[in-house]
């Protein structure tokens, strides 16, 4: 092997690097048991339990499964793009992975692109599972092709918003603090963030504020779209605004080591 | 280069020649990692200039990413990633990487290729780090304590790899605490302490510094050394350092040795042992950096 140790430096093409990074991060996300619990098991539980526990969880008029499913999809998106990204990135920072990759040919933009692609891949799997189960439980979304486009837009924007907030958190706190805070925020938003329970069920003074949260905007946006009324401009703007705020703060405060 | 109040590296002036192995030697906290990481672009010096392959390691980091291989003092891998998977990933970021399976075999990682990083032993993690530094076929590698925690076999294996890299035309900069590593491997060694350069040269010239050898002799205690002291050439002295243990130091040359043995003959003395001790690099290192323990 002595001759092959001679130098032959060079970066792989950007697309190959980003693909490698995305697949790597996807595998690591899927390998992580606790995160899978958050990503699939809890949304499934909410879906199944919520359909039955009518008196406990008042989600208002309409067929329960049709009201419940969009919120559960939003919850799944949040679990991956926020909680998983925050925790994974926190530990990447702690274990020097980001540092080591910083000395590789992969540029930071490529690293971020790989991360986002991994998030979208995992979400595609989650949504496929949850939609099939919901359909089996009698879910009948309305809105046709425009609903599908609306879902794609909202999921993309919601993922960007949550992921930028996740990076903001992971880039500033220690890994353990990120772990705790990311799970806490997930729980709080699940219970009171307007993600699963329709905003109309909250007192009016509260629901107006919840609609400005990424969780409320994504949850309500998906409920609107999947009941055939197209994404509201407000929800799109809210998610965009969070993405811009999260990204610009994260860029300024993120510590790579 | 300072961290708050701590001056980690102070006016260090080093140059590394292409195609050589350069060792940076120094006690704990001397500033080795700081120096190397400044060259890798991780740290911004408060003053001074750093050029790596003619480029600014911070501003032109992207261009160096493919040309420079890096082994961090620790970490650098996901905790759940498998050893071979990690190496394959770094390889995928480069245009003409080494054959990953060959490299894994070469470093004796074959049996743990599927083991998650967090379950690898310290030495296995260290070897993976070394593999990650070279898999992209860089022109220049920075290895921060590449053999820390390796068993003797793995250490020799790593040395062989470093020599092959150099013979292949790669420039190697490594940090170490081990003198034998420097003597076996380095073309050039820089000793730093408290962030400053205290000595530079080839291992041989450094070891020869001062060239103060000693002769140790064991014999019955309480010998009268007056005759010997008078007979020794100027600049050499003899004394009993412990009962029965005698040392001739100072200017120890063949003449001094002949004088000593002649004196033994005259005294009718057959020493239990007699050693000529050349100063090792370790002695030089301890002289240069002091013997007290570092924080
Ligand atoms: N991030 C940091 N913040 C504050 N002080 C630091 C930091 N990194 C290093 N130091 C200090 O700078 C000095 C040099 O540290 P450095 O890690 O460069 O030493 P070293 O020669 O690599 O030591 P070792 O042989 O133990 O690895 C030490 O006093 C250390 O405590
Ligand atoms: Mg160090």
Rounded mean pLDDT, B80-103:
96
Best residue in A29, A93, A94, A105 to probe B by mutation, most B CBs within 10 Å? A105
Which has the closest alpha carbon to B95: B40, B138, B41, B52? B138
d(CA A141, CA A41): 22
**Burial class of residue A215, CB neighbours in 10 A (0-12, 13-18, 19+):** buried
Q: What residues in B contact A26, CB-CB < 8 Å?
A: none
Residue having the nearest C-alpha atom to atom 25 of ligand 1:
B28
Tell me which of A23-27, A96-100, A189-193 is least confident: A189-193
Structure tokens at A92: 């990447």
Check if A104 contacts B (Cβ < 8 Å). yes
Tell whether the model's pLDDT for residue B68 goes beyond 50. yes
ipTM associated with this complex: 0.90
DSSP letter string over B132-175?
Answer: HHHTT--SEEEEESTTTT--HHHHHHHHHHHHHHHHTT-EEEEE
For residue A103, the chain B residue with the least C-alpha distance is B65
Rounded mean pLDDT, A228-233:
83
d(CA A192, CA A174): 26
Q: What residues in B contact A91, CB-CB < 8 Å?
A: 78-79
Tell whether the model's pLDDT for residue B218 goes beyond 80. yes
Q: Give the number of C-alpha atoms closer than 13 A to the C-alpha of residue B52, restricted to the C-beta side.
A: 31
Quick one: pLDDT at residue A54?
Answer: 61
- Does pTM surpass 0.90? no
Q: Which of A31, A32, A105 sits opposite B66 (nearest CB)?
A: A105
- What mean pLDDT, rounded, does chain A reach? 91
CA of B209 to the centre of ligand 2 (A): 26
β-pair type (B188-193, B196-201) = antiparallel
Atom of ligand 1 nearest to the CA of B32: 21
Domain segments of chain A as ranges: 14-253
Quick one: pLDDT at residue A59?
Answer: 65
Quick one: pLDDT at residue A89?
Answer: 96
Scanning A137-203, the segments in alpha helix (DSSP H) are 144-170, 175-192
A194-210 pLDDT per residue, tens: 898 888 888 888 888 89
Interface A-B, measured as beta-carbon pairs within 8 A, has a size of 122
d(CA A114, CA A121): 10
Task: Chain A: give the shortest CA distance to residue B190, in Å.
Answer: 24
Best residue in B74, B80, B125, B157 to probe A by mutation, most A CBs within 10 Å? B80
Tell whether the model's pLDDT for residue A52 goes beyond 80. no
Higher local confidence (pLDDT), A61 or B141: B141
Measure CA of the first residue to CA of the last residue in chain A; give whole Å: 35
The binding-site residues of ligand 1, defined as CB within 6 angstroms of any ligand atom, are B 3, 6, 8, 26, 28-34, 73
């Amino acid at each position: 092997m002595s001759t092959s140790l001679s130098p032959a430096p060079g970066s792989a093409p950007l697309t190959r690097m980003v693909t490698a990074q995305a697949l790597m991060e996807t595998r690591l996300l899927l390998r992580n048991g606790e995160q899978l619990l958050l990503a699939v098991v809890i949304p499934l539980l909410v879906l199944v339990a919520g359909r039955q526990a009518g008196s406990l969880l008042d989600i208002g008029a309409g067929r329960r499964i049709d009201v419940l499913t969009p919120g559960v999809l939003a919850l799944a998106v949040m679990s991956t793009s926020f909680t998983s990204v925050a925790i994974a990135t926190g530990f990447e920072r702690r274990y020097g992975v980001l540092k080591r990759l910083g000395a590789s040919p992969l540029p930071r933009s490529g690293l971020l692109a790989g991360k986002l692609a991994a998030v979208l891949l995992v979400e595609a799997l989650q949504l496929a599972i949850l939609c099939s189960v919901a359909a089996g439980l009698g879910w009948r979304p309305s809105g046709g092709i425009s609903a599908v486009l609306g879902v794609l837009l909202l999921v993309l924007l919601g993922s960007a918003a949550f992921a930028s907030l996740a990076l903001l958190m992971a880039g500033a706190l220690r890994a353990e603090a990120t772990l705790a805070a990311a799970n806490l925020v997930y729980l709080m938003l699940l219970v009171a963030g307007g993600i699963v329970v329709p905003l109309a069920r909250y007192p009016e003074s509260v629901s107006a504020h919840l609609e400005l949260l990424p969780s409320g905007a994504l949850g309500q946006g998906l409920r609107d779209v999947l009941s055939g009324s197209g994404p509201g401009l407000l929800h799109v703007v809210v998610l965009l605004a969070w993405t811009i705020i999260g990204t610009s703060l994260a860029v300024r405060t993120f510590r790579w080591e | 280069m300072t961290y708050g109040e701590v001056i980690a590296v102070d006016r260090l002036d080093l140059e590394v020649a292409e195609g050589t192995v350069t060792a940076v030697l120094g006690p704990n906290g001397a500033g080795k990692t700081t120096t190397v990481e400044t060259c890798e672009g991780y740290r911004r010096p408060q003053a001074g200039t750093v050029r790596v392959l003619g480029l600014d390691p911070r501003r032109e980091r992207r261009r160096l990413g493919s040309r420079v291989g890096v082994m961090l003092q620790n970490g650098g891998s996901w905790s759940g990633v498998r050893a071979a998977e990690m190496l394959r990933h770094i390889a995928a970021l480069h245009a003409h990487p080494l054959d990953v399976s060959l490299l894994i075999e070469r470093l004796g990682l074959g049996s743990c290729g599927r083991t998650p990083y967090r379950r690898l032993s310290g030495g296995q993690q260290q070897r993976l780090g070394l593999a990650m530094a070279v898999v992209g076929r860089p022109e220049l590698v920075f290895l921060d304590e590449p053999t820390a925690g390796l068993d003797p076999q793995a250490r020799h294996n790593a040395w062989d790899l470093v020599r092959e890299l150099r013979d292949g035309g790669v420039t190697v900069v490594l940090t170490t605490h081990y003198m034998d590593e420097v003597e076996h491997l380095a073309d050039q060694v820089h000793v730093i302490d408290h962030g400053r350069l205290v000595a530079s040269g080839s291992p041989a010239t450094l070891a020869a510094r001062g060239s103060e050898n000693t002769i140790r002799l064991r014999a019955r205690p309480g010998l009268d050394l007056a005759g010997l002291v008078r007979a020794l050439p100027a600049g050499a002295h003899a004394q009993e350092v412990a009962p029965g243990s005698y040392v001739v130091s100072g200017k120890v040359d063949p003449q001094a040795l002949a004088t000593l043995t002649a004196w033994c003959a005259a005294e009718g003395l057959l020493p239990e042992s007699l050693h000529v001790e050349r100063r090792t690099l370790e002695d030089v290192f301890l002289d240069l950096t002091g013997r007290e323990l570092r924080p």
